[in-house]
Structure 1
Amino acid sequence: MTTTWKLKRTAQCKKCPWRLEVDPHDIPNGYCETKHQALARTIADPAALPAPGEPLRAMACHETDDAHCVGWLNHQLGPGNNILLRLRMLDCSNVDKLRLRGEQHKSFEATLPVKSVAPS
């Protein structure tokens, strides 16, 4: 018997790095380039089947450590085509309630643009 579960957060937060209009350098609570780069391991190879026993690595919302990042969910369920996540979400009773705020980045790499430094 399959047990259904619910996402703790379904609305994208105002400072989500997946939003085009958010400067990730302004995200509060210690968000930084080092932490951001560590999140690359949460991005699946599109349409790749996971290795047997491979855990689902999820991006947490920067506002809390016990909820998924809604921007990440949107990307990985859509263009990121994360097969393991798609299978996990089959039992999620509120995935249809996901709500985004504005335009989203098309890739993880685009979520942390390199800051340009003015020439001295």
Structure 2
Amino acid sequence: MSSTWKLKRTAQCKKCPWRVDVDPHDIPNGYNVAKHQELARTIAKPGDLSQVGQPLQAMACHETDDAHCVGWLSHQLGRGNNIPLRLRMMSCENSMNLRLRGEQHACFEDTLVAAMRDGAAPVDLGVD
């Protein structure tokens, strides 16, 4: 049995909330501010080692049931410095094929900006 695995999706979707040019309210199949805010649990504290060996909290792509969000992957592998994710991706055969579309938000909180402008009550996300 092989210890390697592949991402089911490597290209960022057109309505990914990590894209600066996407209004979260345009996400297909309905948008829910509360569910979006709950995704803060998938954001690692940069460089935090306390979750190594624990189940990975991942953001799924809103277009599929079983694929990672490519915008989230890019952020957490880059400036998000998600160490458990980086370790997991070492055995991923197609991680070098990740493709983003356009400018990306710098942090998770920025993905919520459009929703907050539309009157949703902000919450303490507990992330830096």
Is residue 2:6 matched to residue 1:6? yes
For residues 49 and 74 of structure 2, the distance between their equivalents in structure 1, rounded to whole angstroms, comes to 19
The alpha carbon displacement at 1:28 in A equals 1.5
List aligned pairs for 1:1-120, cutoff 5 A.
Answer: 3-51=3-51, 53-113=53-113, 114-115=116-117
Q: Which amino acid aligns with 1:97?
A: N
Q: Which runs of 4+ in 1 moved over 4 A?
A: none
For residues 92 and 105 of structure 1, the distance between their equivalents in structure 2, rounded to whole angstroms, comes to 24
With the length of structure 2 as denominator, give the TM-score of the two structures: 0.86
Task: State the match for 2:124 in structure 1.
Answer: none
In the comparison of the two structures, how many residue pairs are matched?
117
**3-state SS of paired residue (1:109):** helix
- Whether the aligned pair in 2 keeps the contact of 1:50 and 1:83 (CA below 8 Å) is no
Deviations 1:42-68 (A, max 9, x none): 000000002464211000000012000
- Structure 1 residue runs without a partner (length 5+): none
- Structure 2 residue runs without a partner (length 5+): 120-128
Q: What is the identity percentage for the equivalent residue pairs of Structure 1 and Structure 2?
A: 72
- Whether the aligned pair in 2 keeps the contact of 1:20 and 1:103 (CA below 8 Å) is yes
**3-state SS of paired residue (1:100):** coil
- Whether the aligned pair in 1 keeps the contact of 2:52 and 2:84 (CA below 8 Å) is no
The alpha carbon displacement at 1:30 in A equals 2.5
